[in-house]
Amino acid sequence: MAKTLEVSLLTDDDTELAMIRRKKMAELVAREKKMKASREHQQKVGAEREKLLKRFLDSDAMVYLENLKKSEPAIGNRVQEIILSLIVYRGVRQIVTQLDVRYIERQIKGEGPKIRVQRDGETSDFGAYVREAIKENKDDTKKD
Protein backbone atom coordinates (compact mmCIF):
# COMPACT_ATOMS: atom_id res chain seq x y z
CA MET A 1 0.00 0.00 0.00
CA ALA A 2 2.84 2.38 0.82
CA LYS A 3 4.41 1.75 -2.57
CA THR A 4 1.22 2.65 -4.42
CA LEU A 5 0.92 5.83 -2.38
CA GLU A 6 4.48 6.81 -3.28
CA VAL A 7 3.90 6.04 -6.95
CA SER A 8 0.71 8.08 -7.01
CA LEU A 9 2.50 11.02 -5.31
CA LEU A 10 5.30 10.84 -7.84
CA THR A 11 2.91 10.77 -10.77
CA ASP A 12 0.98 13.74 -9.37
CA ASP A 13 4.26 15.67 -8.96
CA ASP A 14 5.39 14.66 -12.44
CA THR A 15 2.05 15.72 -13.89
CA GLU A 16 2.26 19.12 -12.16
CA LEU A 17 5.84 19.59 -13.37
CA ALA A 18 4.86 18.69 -16.91
CA MET A 19 1.96 21.18 -16.77
CA ILE A 20 4.27 23.92 -15.48
CA ARG A 21 6.80 23.12 -18.21
CA ARG A 22 4.11 23.25 -20.91
CA LYS A 23 2.79 26.54 -19.54
CA LYS A 24 6.30 28.06 -19.50
CA MET A 25 6.99 26.79 -23.01
CA ALA A 26 3.71 28.26 -24.26
CA GLU A 27 4.61 31.62 -22.66
CA LEU A 28 8.05 31.55 -24.31
CA VAL A 29 6.56 30.72 -27.71
CA ALA A 30 3.97 33.49 -27.34
CA ARG A 31 6.66 36.00 -26.32
CA GLU A 32 8.83 34.98 -29.27
CA LYS A 33 5.88 35.38 -31.68
CA LYS A 34 5.15 38.82 -30.25
CA MET A 35 8.80 39.89 -30.60
CA LYS A 36 8.92 38.59 -34.18
CA ALA A 37 5.76 40.49 -35.08
CA SER A 38 7.17 43.62 -33.48
CA ARG A 39 10.44 43.30 -35.43
CA GLU A 40 8.54 42.79 -38.68
CA HIS A 41 6.39 45.82 -37.95
CA GLN A 42 9.47 47.95 -37.18
CA GLN A 43 11.11 46.83 -40.42
CA LYS A 44 7.98 47.65 -42.39
CA VAL A 45 7.70 51.09 -40.78
CA GLY A 46 11.41 51.73 -41.38
CA ALA A 47 11.06 50.83 -45.04
CA GLU A 48 8.07 53.18 -45.40
CA ARG A 49 10.03 56.00 -43.75
CA GLU A 50 13.00 55.48 -46.06
CA LYS A 51 10.67 55.44 -49.06
CA LEU A 52 9.11 58.75 -48.02
CA LEU A 53 12.50 60.33 -47.37
CA LYS A 54 13.86 59.21 -50.74
CA ARG A 55 10.79 60.60 -52.44
CA PHE A 56 10.75 64.04 -50.81
CA LEU A 57 14.44 64.76 -50.06
CA ASP A 58 16.81 65.75 -52.82
CA SER A 59 20.08 63.81 -53.05
CA ASP A 60 22.21 66.44 -51.27
CA ALA A 61 19.72 66.66 -48.42
CA MET A 62 19.63 62.88 -48.09
CA VAL A 63 23.44 62.67 -47.92
CA TYR A 64 23.57 65.55 -45.41
CA LEU A 65 20.90 63.93 -43.21
CA GLU A 66 22.71 60.57 -43.26
CA ASN A 67 25.99 62.24 -42.28
CA LEU A 68 24.22 64.20 -39.55
CA LYS A 69 22.70 60.98 -38.18
CA LYS A 70 26.18 59.45 -38.04
CA SER A 71 27.91 62.44 -36.43
CA GLU A 72 25.07 63.53 -34.11
CA PRO A 73 22.50 60.71 -33.91
CA ALA A 74 20.07 62.49 -31.56
CA ILE A 75 19.94 65.64 -33.70
CA GLY A 76 19.81 63.68 -36.97
CA ASN A 77 16.97 61.47 -35.79
CA ARG A 78 15.03 64.49 -34.52
CA VAL A 79 15.48 66.27 -37.88
CA GLN A 80 14.27 63.14 -39.67
CA GLU A 81 11.22 62.91 -37.39
CA ILE A 82 10.35 66.56 -38.08
CA ILE A 83 10.67 66.10 -41.84
CA LEU A 84 8.52 62.96 -41.75
CA SER A 85 5.86 64.65 -39.62
CA LEU A 86 5.77 67.57 -42.07
CA ILE A 87 5.28 65.14 -44.94
CA VAL A 88 2.75 62.85 -43.24
CA TYR A 89 0.73 65.14 -40.98
CA ARG A 90 1.13 68.57 -42.59
CA GLY A 91 0.90 67.39 -46.17
CA VAL A 92 4.11 69.01 -47.39
CA ARG A 93 4.58 67.79 -50.96
CA GLN A 94 7.57 69.81 -52.11
CA ILE A 95 11.14 68.58 -52.29
CA VAL A 96 13.15 69.23 -49.11
CA THR A 97 16.60 70.65 -49.89
CA GLN A 98 19.84 70.51 -47.97
CA LEU A 99 19.27 74.11 -46.92
CA ASP A 100 15.92 73.12 -45.38
CA VAL A 101 17.55 70.24 -43.49
CA ARG A 102 20.28 72.56 -42.20
CA TYR A 103 17.66 75.11 -41.14
CA ILE A 104 15.77 72.47 -39.12
CA GLU A 105 19.05 71.29 -37.59
CA ARG A 106 19.94 74.83 -36.51
CA GLN A 107 16.48 75.39 -35.05
CA ILE A 108 16.83 72.22 -32.97
CA LYS A 109 20.28 73.25 -31.76
CA GLY A 110 19.06 76.77 -31.03
CA GLU A 111 21.68 78.39 -33.24
CA GLY A 112 21.06 81.77 -34.80
CA PRO A 113 22.18 82.89 -38.23
CA LYS A 114 25.90 83.26 -38.74
CA ILE A 115 27.08 85.92 -41.15
CA ARG A 116 30.83 86.20 -41.51
CA VAL A 117 32.75 89.07 -43.10
CA GLN A 118 36.25 88.60 -44.43
CA ARG A 119 38.27 91.78 -44.60
CA ASP A 120 42.03 92.20 -44.85
CA GLY A 121 42.49 88.45 -44.45
CA GLU A 122 40.60 88.57 -41.15
CA THR A 123 37.23 86.88 -40.62
CA SER A 124 34.81 88.40 -38.15
CA ASP A 125 31.15 88.20 -37.19
CA PHE A 126 28.90 90.56 -39.13
CA GLY A 127 27.61 92.21 -35.95
CA ALA A 128 31.16 92.92 -34.76
CA TYR A 129 32.05 94.23 -38.22
CA VAL A 130 29.11 96.66 -38.21
CA ARG A 131 29.88 97.87 -34.66
CA GLU A 132 33.50 98.46 -35.64
CA ALA A 133 32.48 100.34 -38.79
CA ILE A 134 30.08 102.56 -36.81
CA LYS A 135 32.77 103.24 -34.23
CA GLU A 136 35.28 104.15 -36.94
CA ASN A 137 32.69 106.39 -38.62
CA LYS A 138 32.01 108.22 -35.33
CA ASP A 139 35.74 108.66 -34.72
CA ASP A 140 36.18 110.07 -38.24
CA THR A 141 33.32 112.55 -37.82
CA LYS A 142 34.67 113.77 -34.45
CA LYS A 143 38.10 114.49 -36.00
CA ASP A 144 36.60 116.69 -38.74
| Residue 57: burial class (beta carbons within 10 Å; 0-12, 13-18, 19+) | buried
What is the 3 state secondary structure string of 53-104?
A: HHHHECHHHHHHHHHHHHHCHHHHHHHHHHHHHHHHCCCCCCCECHHHHHHH
pLDDT of residue 63: 94
pLDDT of residue 18: 87
Separation CA 87–CA 95 (nearest Å): 10
Phi and psi at residue 61, to the nearest 5°: -65, -40
pTM of the full predicted structure?
A: 0.60
Q: What's at 79, amino acid-wise?
A: V
Cβ proximity of 116 and 124 under 8 Å: yes
Using 50, 70 and 90 to split pLDDT, how confident is the model at 126? confident
pLDDT of residue 143: 64
pLDDT, tens digit, 9 for 90 and up, residues 18-29 = 889 999 999 999
Separation CA 144–CA 133 (nearest Å): 17
Contact partners, residue 116, CB within 8 Å, separation at least 6: 123, 124, 125, 126
pLDDT, tens digit, 9 for 90 and up, residues 107-116 = 988 887 777 7
